Amino acid sequence: MTGNSPGNSPGNGSANGGGHKLLAIFGRYKPAPWRGHYSLSKLFFNFYLVAVSSFIIIALFADFVISMAIRGVTEDYMSRFMRGTIVLIEDELFRHPRVEWPTTIKSIDEKFAYRLEIVERWTLRLEAKQAERLDSGEMAVSPDGDILYHRLKETSQVLAVGPLSPRANAEYHGSLSLELRIRLLTWTVIGLVLAIAVWFFVRPFWRDLEAMRQTARALGEGQLDARAPLVRSSAFDLLAATFDGMAERIQRLIATQKELSSSISHELRTPIARLRFALEMISETEDGPERDRLRRMMEDDLDELDGLIDSSLTYARYEREPPALHLSPVEFAPWIEEEVESMRILGRNIELVVDTQALPPGLQVELDRKSMPYALTNLLRNAIKYANARIQVSAEVIGERVALHVDDDGPGIPKEERERVFSAFTRLDSSRDRATGGYGLGLAIARLVLEQHGGEASADEAPLGGARFTLTWPVVQSVTKS
């Protein structure tokens, strides 16, 4: 068989083929698996290692600086402390002949906890300052500060006393000295206390991080109503608030895109259907006037499509990321007159009146000269569409805010519908023709513009009997928005 089945029509095949080609290029989307979690033990050990290492380095550096600063004082104190002992040892040696000094020093050494020794002067390697002290008859100290040297009167021999530190003596090598035991105990206690402190410090951070991760995971899986949990650490307050703002913005953007896609698809059907009908009719008729009428219909439908696309893009832009707001002071009454005058041509037989008598003379109001006219003209278009014979534009100052009213004598808006008319693609009439039709975006855009100005748009009953739309915003805005 060479015929096409319904499922394999050329149009369908082309569309599906294009889709299959895109899928072949990009592949089908597969959500990445959500594995792993924040490890409390890893976070604790990493932080603890950094804290302990920093503490040890700081302690060792401080100990080095302090020991170097007091080294001279310590050496002087040790020399003064040992001077009497060394003089007594020297006197004892000189009571014996020099040949008996090695035997004598050994017998004396047995009575002390540190070593005594007689060495030749030339064997010593001392700092210049210490060598000078030794040669002048004073006591000198070894480079490590643990051995004292004293030249035995007019001889070339030197009495060496030390090492004086207990850990440097052989009799203490078999066990830990008291100083070392105290140091080990102290560092152990410091390490344990620091570990406990780090644990209680890190745990709230880990708990908040894990909760934020769970929320991010829920958002990634499509749960757009997920929000950051109540954090217990003040360090994450700003992050949680920013996260919630991001989630709300994403939810709003996706909802707006879905709404726009659905509504635009619905709105496109009518003009497209009319275009298709006009094309079929123009190909079947030879009557010149009829062909011209159909051609004008097609042009009107194209204009309607162009207007729909332009309004939809404007609304999407304000919903997604409002353009930068550039506030400047304008003289309010002349500005209103100018904007209304530009719309009179659309009113035709409708009486369009401007009343600014309630405004203080020379009143200046801060507004964006690009976006605020868009809000006012949308209200005027809406009023022109529904008014029977009269539209009145008025303004007044209420406290520190200015109010701009657009009243018409049309059918008005039911009280229960006055808030809904500001939603996108909302129309209270069922007509679809160009006389009373529209896209339901003008009032929605007007509200977005006023929210950007720190104000609001509202609907009420007009003194003329129809609908009143009111724009209110601060006369002066202290902070320029962007």
- The answer to the question of residue 335 being in a domain is yes
Q: What three-state secondary structure class fits 59? A: helix
pLDDT tier at 432, thresholds 50, 70, 90: very low
**Is the pLDDT higher at 315 or at 462?**
462
- The answer to the question of residue 28 being in a domain is no
Note whether 365 and 379 are same-domain residues.
yes
Note whether 106 and 120 are same-domain residues.
yes
Note whether 255 and 285 are same-domain residues.
yes
Query: How far is CA 95 from each of CA 29, 106, 139, rounded to the nearest angstrom?
Result: 102, 15, 21
What pLDDT score does 76 carry?
A: 67
For residues 469 and 439, give the distance between their C-alpha atoms in angstroms, rounded to a whole number: 18
pLDDT in tens, 82-125: 777 888 888 888 888 888 888 888 888 777 777 888 888 888 88
What pLDDT score does 127 carry?
A: 81
pLDDT at 293 over 70: yes
For residues 105 and 163, give the distance between their C-alpha atoms in angstroms, rounded to a whole number: 16
pLDDT in tens, 195-210: 888 888 777 777 877 8
Note whether 395 and 330 are same-domain residues.
yes
Q: What is the mean pLDDT of residues 269-296?
A: 81
- The answer to the question of residue 356 being in a domain is yes
Note whether 135 and 183 are same-domain residues.
no
Note whether 353 and 453 are same-domain residues.
yes
pTM higher than 0.85: no
Are the C-beta atoms of 218 and 250 separated by less than 8 Å? no
Share of the chain above pLDDT 90, in %: 9
Note whether 49 and 196 are same-domain residues.
yes
Are the C-beta atoms of 363 and 333 separated by less than 8 Å? yes
pLDDT at 179 over 70: no
pLDDT at 433 over 60: no
Radius of gyration (C-alpha) of the chain in whole angstroms = 47
- The answer to the question of residue 139 being in a domain is yes
Domain boundary among 257, 290, 317: 317
CA neighbor of 94 nearest in space, from 83, 105, 80: 105
pLDDT at 22 over 50: no
Note whether 55 and 200 are same-domain residues.
yes
298 Cβ neighbours under 8 A, 6+ residues apart: 275, 278, 279, 282
Note whether 54 and 189 are same-domain residues.
yes
What DSSP state is assigned to residue 96? S
Query: How far is CA 360 from each of CA 10, 27, 354, 365, 396, rounded to the nearest angstrom?
Result: 69, 65, 15, 11, 9
**Is the pLDDT higher at 171 or at 161?**
161
For residues 44 and 368, give the distance between their C-alpha atoms in angstroms, rounded to a whole number: 53
Note whether 270 and 409 are same-domain residues.
no
Note whether 301 and 344 are same-domain residues.
no
Note whether 340 and 451 are same-domain residues.
yes
Q: Tokens 């964006």 map to which residue? A: 368
299 Cβ neighbours under 8 A, 6+ residues apart: none
**Is the pLDDT higher at 67 or at 365?**
365
Among 6-15, 83-92, 312-321, which range has the highest average pLDDT?
A: 83-92
pLDDT tier at 321, thresholds 50, 70, 90: low
**Is the pLDDT higher at 59 or at 465?**
465
What pLDDT score does 126 carry?
A: 82
Q: Please, which residues bridge with residue 473 across strands? A: 402
- The answer to the question of residue 270 being in a domain is yes
Number of domains in the chain: 4
Are the C-beta atoms of 375 and 446 separated by less than 8 Å? yes
- Residue 427, classified by CB atoms within 10 Å of its CB into exposed (0-12), middle (13-18) or buried (19+), is middle
Q: Domain range spanning residue 307? A: 233-317
Element (H, E) at 469: strand 467-474
